[in-house]
């Protein structure tokens, strides 16, 4: 279990992590989601004692990282791929880590096998592709057989096979009862991997929710309707107790009614329809709405929409 309490990090004027309080629990994959610069890496560095908090506290199974005995056997982390000596082989890199942490040598062979690097174990790391570097970083995280694992953007730059492999690995580690904490800036990626979501923006907690709850709240389905007899259609829908809102481009959006019913109501009043289409809002859109105000740098493609009122509704703790 990882517990953060009021965790804060300032760099001069910049507040990189702002009063974060949440708990990462065992047995599930917890996704740590936020746009670029949200403070995910800084938070993970503080969990590992690589950065010191300006305020607040973070504990690993009740203890500060600095006070853990043989920390690699308690928490394993992949923070930056290729954080290794380029002239060293994968085998020797892991062997050095094992020897300095009191981990038996046989674990080196086990983890090389687990990440599929046995065949290239004696090759120098500088010749490794990004995917091989990620696998070696994950092997290092697994070396001490820790109960807690933390991965910072593990699928960045990987091919589909590598992405699939990491997703499966994270789920199986969680199924073994371990705590798995993984960061990403892609909602679509988290939707496929995480059981629980912690969302941050500009260092602040925006949501702490189960994935199922996030999907339920944000998989908004509605029907788009366009008609040259818009006012008559609005009046007909109103009489039937169906609420429609303007979509901004002249069309109407109707929640809570099927396209069939709207079509039948329109036909009953001899109203011509030019469009009648069921729609499903994507989780990526929901994430973008939630974090819109906290994104540091926008492309000049339009004004971000303000976060919806529901943003606060599912924030816990
Ligand atoms: N050593 C530092 N000195 C000054 N500012 C920093 C430092 N480290 C991080 N920051 C700033 O803190 C903020 C959070 O950065 P961080 O790398 O933690 O975000 P992130 O969510 O991991 O982003 P990304 O997905 O882009 O890696 C950013 O604005 C960053 O510029």
- Radius of gyration of the chain, Cα coordinates, nearest whole angstrom: 24
Residue from 269, 282, 197, 188 nearest 234 by CA:
269
CA of 262 to the centre of ligand 1 (A): 49
| Same domain as 248, residue 152 | no
Residue range 65-110, pLDDT digits in tens: 999 888 899 999 998 755 667 788 889 999 999 998 889 999 999 9
| pLDDT on residue 316 | 36
The residue count for the chain: 317
Confidence of residue 295 (pLDDT cuts 50, 70, 90): low
| Same domain as 226, residue 212 | no
Mean model confidence pLDDT for the chain: 87
Q: Name the residue with the closest Cα to ligand 1, atom 7.
A: 11
Which of 125-134, 171-180, 305-314 has the highest average model confidence (pLDDT)?
A: 171-180
Residue range 13-49, pLDDT digits in tens: 999 999 999 999 999 999 999 988 899 999 999 999 9
Q: What is the average per-residue pLDDT within 154-183? A: 92
CA 173 – CA 110 distance, rounded (Å): 15
For tokens 């908090």, what's the residue? 53
| Same domain as 61, residue 156 | yes
- Residue 130 counted as domain residue: no
| Same domain as 227, residue 174 | no
Residue among 40, 80, 81 whose CB has most ligand 1 atoms within 8 A, to mutate: 40
Task: Find the CATH number of the domain harbouring 255.
Answer: 3.30.70
To the nearest 10°, the Cα dihedral for 100, 103, 108, 113?
-140
Share of the chain above pLDDT 90, in %: 59
Structural element, H or E, at residue 38: none
The ipTM of this complex is 0.95
| Same domain as 63, residue 175 | yes
Give the structural domain span for 246: 221-280
Regarding the beta carbon of 233 and ligand 1, being less than 6 Å apart is answered no
| Same domain as 63, residue 163 | yes
Interacting residues of 154 by C-beta distance below 8 A, sequence separation 6+: 78, 134, 138, 166, 170, 182
Residue range 188-226, pLDDT digits in tens: 888 889 999 999 999 999 999 998 888 877 777 889 999
Domain tally, the chain: 2
> Model-level pTM?
0.79
Strand order of the sheet with strand 14-24? Answer: 14-24, 2-11, 55-60
Residue among 31, 38, 189 whose CB has most ligand 1 atoms within 8 A, to mutate: 38
Instruction: Read off the tokens for 208.
Output: 């702490």
Give 8's strand partners. Answer: 55
């Amino acid at each position: 279990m990882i517990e953060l309490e009021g965790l804060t990090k300032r760099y001069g004027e910049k507040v990189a992590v702002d009063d974060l309080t949440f708990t990462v629990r065992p047995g599930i994959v917890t996704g740590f989601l936020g746009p670029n610069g949200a403070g995910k890496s800084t938070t993970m560095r503080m969990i590992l004692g690589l950065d010191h908090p300006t305020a607040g506290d973070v504990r690993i199974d009740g203890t500060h990282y600095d006070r853990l005995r043989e920390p690699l056997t308690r928490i394993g982390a992949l923070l930056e791929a290729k954080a290794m000596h380029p002239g060293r082989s994968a085998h020797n890199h892991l062997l050095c880590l094992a020897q300095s942490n009191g981990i038996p040598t046989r674990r080196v062979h086990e983890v090389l096998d687990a990440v599929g690097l046995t065949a290239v174990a004696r090759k120098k790391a500088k010749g490794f592709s990004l995917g091989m570097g990620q696998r070696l970083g994950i092997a290092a995280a697994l070396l001490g057989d820790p109960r807690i694992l933390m991965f910072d953007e593990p699928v960045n730059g990987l091919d589909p096979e590598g992405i699939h492999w990491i997703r499966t690995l994270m789920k199986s580690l969680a199924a073994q009862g371990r705590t798995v904490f993984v960061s990403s800036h892609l909602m679509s990626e988290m939707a496929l991997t995480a059981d629980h979501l912690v969302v941050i923006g500009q260092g602040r907690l925006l949501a702490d929710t189960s994935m199922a709850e996030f999907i339920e709240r944000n998989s908004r389905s509605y029907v788009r309707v366009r008609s040259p007899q818009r006012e008559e259609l609005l009046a007909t829908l109103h009489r039937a107790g169906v609420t429609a809102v303007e979509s901004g481009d002249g069309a109407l959006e109707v929640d809570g009614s099927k396209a069939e019913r709207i079509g039948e109501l329109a036909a009953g009043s001899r109203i011509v329809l030019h469009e009648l289409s069921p729609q499903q809002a994507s989780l990526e859109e929901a994430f973008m709405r939630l974090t819109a105000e906290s994104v540091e740098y926008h492309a000049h493609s339009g004004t971000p929409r303000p976060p919806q009122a529901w943003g606060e509704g599912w924030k816990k703790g």
